[in-house]
Chains A and B, each alone.
Chain A
């Protein structure tokens, strides 16, 4: 039965093969190569050994960026582990109109981070809605400078990431909740367990694996954060450039006459080293699920 010529598969694979080689494998190799050069955004560059890595050791901004990443991760993790689960539990019951709520809760996910960050800028500015309401209700006597203090900026960005991520992780939890045993819930209810009790002793253990998946996803995305911080700080990285992330540093060195693609590549390698562990775990979790 010879219906397939030897080149047929490769004809079909053609475009994907080109993209695999040119836009996936080659950039991975070239990142390593570039990290040992002083390449500039406008071209040129020569081999400079480990100079870029030495420079990393004395880069204060990099220290700030890494500290920010850790804080980002630590604050995002608990919030994005539980809030989306609560939303999913709310959406689980097939009440009338539930599809509308599901779609609405997902809207922040599909909006561009730039759009959302500009909305946040307007909400959080000195005379914005948040400060206004807080003063009106007597929580604050004067506006909090959400967009100008180093830590306040960071936490504003975190609040944005959490808000934008709610719907995304909610959907992941929603498909996991379908597998949580209904009998177990009913048995617990018959035994007189309160809804809160049932949440902790039936729902949470039931979605344990998904919680692991979510925490890895949150970790990786916290380490990759860019747009939120870039737009909220208007590209400056906050006071003294201290509210930056690693990816923001990479972007900063990618442009203009002061740019340094070699150093940016070295920073990219650092990002790789930080994220490779969680990424491998993610791949494993996804394959297990599939």
Chain B
């Protein structure tokens, strides 16, 4: 258990813990008892160790030099002589930079495709009236019943017949416009009050002008959510690129990592360095954009 020796920063001056004050706002933060607060922070820190600890251990392993034993009976979290050698070893063993580039290409296609495709379709489905809209919506909803793994084989057959087997475009293509994102963007456009739109219609604005001037400024939140989801989804994906790609030159980072650990090395330091190369960029993306991310998730943009 992690011990809390000092009260957490920001804790208010000692409140009489025993005084049974009338609790007007029982769970309010001003009246929370000091003991409860300490207990909460202790549990939070314990959970932090559990959720983040393994990443720290991996980072630490990746920075340990060949001279330092990584199997000591008392685990050392701080490397005695930190070094980036293992990262160089990764680059010597597999073309890790080109794998990262491949992952980035796939993610970029997914981000742009979903941002454009889902926005246009979401707007049309939410704000325009036309024949076939209900049918289209029903079909889109219907596709959500299928887990991606069910169609992955025939997806591969399609990509192969397009001549895109073993290419990055083939990896990116099936999820370039994801139906879930179309629905999410539609929901975002539907949340814009009709009155705002009607004013534009009376002024003679075209559908395109309404999308640019009324629609887009009001759906930025959802748009950022689907692009973050698209990026993370593409960057992290493993099964689909594993099926599509055969030439090791074309691997994305996740497939390349498995290749590294499966075929080339059993040196935990080098594998640890490899995992950090795949992990750190996504953490940076996430840390930068997490504000939008959590807001979007709270709005109900939860993937099933």
Contacts and interface: CB of A to CB of B under 8 A. Distances in A.
A125 B211 CA distance: 55
A290 B278 contact: no
Contacts of B136: 13, 17, 20
A72 B282 CA distance: 28
Interface in B160-205: 160, 173-179, 182, 187, 201-202, 204-205
A217 B272 CA distance: 31
Given A16-B182, A20-B179, A283-B144, A3 B154 contact: no
A128 B8 CA distance: 33
Interface stretch (B78-86, B88-96, B236-244): B236-244
A121 B58 CA distance: 11
In the complex, which of the residues B58, B130, B157, B298 has the most CB atoms of chain A within 10 Å of its own CB atom? B157
Nearest to B45: A101
B292 interface: no
Contacts of B152: 250-251, 254, 268
A185 B128 CA distance: 46
Contact of B147 (A97, A110, A220): A220
Contact of B58 (A96, A122, A264): A122
A103 B290 contact: yes
Interface in A138-196: 163, 166-167, 171-172, 174-175, 182, 185-186, 189-190
A92 to B, nearest CB: 9
Nearest to B282: A110
A22 interface: yes
Interface in B245-294: 246, 253-254, 257-258, 261-262, 268, 271-272, 274-275, 278-279, 282-283, 286-287, 290, 294
A133 interface: yes
B87 interface: no
Contact of B130 (A6, A97, A227, A289): A6
Nearest to B262: A234
B116 A250 contact: no
Given A9-B130, A43-B160, A283 B141 contact: yes
A224 B238 CA distance: 13
A103 B57 contact: no
A235 B177 CA distance: 30
A272 B283 CA distance: 34
In the complex, which of the residues B41, B51, B160, B178 has the most CB atoms of chain A within 10 Å of its own CB atom? B51
B117 interface: yes
A261 interface: yes
Contacts of A118: 257-258, 261, 271-272, 274-275
A9 B125 CA distance: 8
A25 B48 CA distance: 43
Interface residues of B, number: 109
Nearest to A15: B117
A276 B196 CA distance: 40
Contacts of A282: 304
Interface in A211-235: 217, 220, 223-224, 226-227, 230-231, 234-235
Given A19-B117, A28-B146, A112-B254, A227 B58 contact: no
A61 interface: no
B154 A27 contact: yes
Given A13-B124, A15-B116, A251-B239, A4 B206 contact: yes
Given A34-B153, A104-B51, A110-B283, A171 B177 contact: no
B179 A19 contact: yes
B57 A123 contact: yes
Nearest to A234: B262
A34 B32 contact: no
Given A16-B121, A27-B154, A43-B160, A87 B179 contact: no
B47 A231 contact: no
A169 B183 CA distance: 22
Interface string A5-38: 0101110111111111011111110110110000
A185 B238 contact: no
Interface of B: 8-10, 23, 26-27, 29, 32, 37, 40-41, 43-44, 47-48, 50-52, 54-55, 57-58, 61, 71, 73-75, 113, 116-118, 120-121, 123-125, 128, 130, 133, 136, 139-141, 143-147, 149-158, 160, 173-179, 182, 187, 201-202, 204-208, 211, 232, 235-239, 242-243, 246, 253-254, 257-258, 261-262, 268, 271-272, 274-275, 278-279, 282-283, 286-287, 290, 294, 297-298, 300, 302, 304
Closest 7 CB pairs of A and B: A16-B121, A112-B236, A96-B10, A27-B151, A30-B154, A12-B124, A19-B177
